[in-house]
Structure 1
């Protein structure tokens, strides 16, 4: 079921990660900025739209770094989900 409190926490996390990403980028900490922006992408309800915004607002080098990070995010997410399923199956 849809949980408004959980949705609100995700929204807060999303905004926090975007802010942290922007802050890191403004300090020249590109790798850390990309890390935060990729976290925001992971929880975003419309990642394609967010990528379009990033394409127009980020320096090309940083946007490329973000694009290269996406497959790694997906792999990590899959690994986390598999581990969670394994732990849930182990309880049975």
Structure 2
């Protein structure tokens, strides 16, 4: 659901709403304190209108910042920067990757 929200927002407001925009998704598994962690990095670039974080948070932001930690025992960070944004989601790999 989190990836779906990122994709929908990219089409509506972000990088995929502009011919100059790009989305890069990278994922890998890391060892953290003896356990495996799935790290997903979603990066949007080429967004001409983004200069700072939105003033209000919508459903997608709430999903990423509250649902990921609560339901998946993970973390997520959204970083808005001029021309783009980056979202990093980290989840315990056990139960996610099989």
Give the TM-score taking structure 2 as reference length. Answer: 0.28
Structure with greater contact order relative to length (CA < 8 Å, sep ≥ 6)? 2
Give the TM-score taking structure 1 as reference length. Answer: 0.29
Q: Which is strand-richer, 1 or 2?
A: 2
Q: Which is helix-richer, 1 or 2?
A: 1
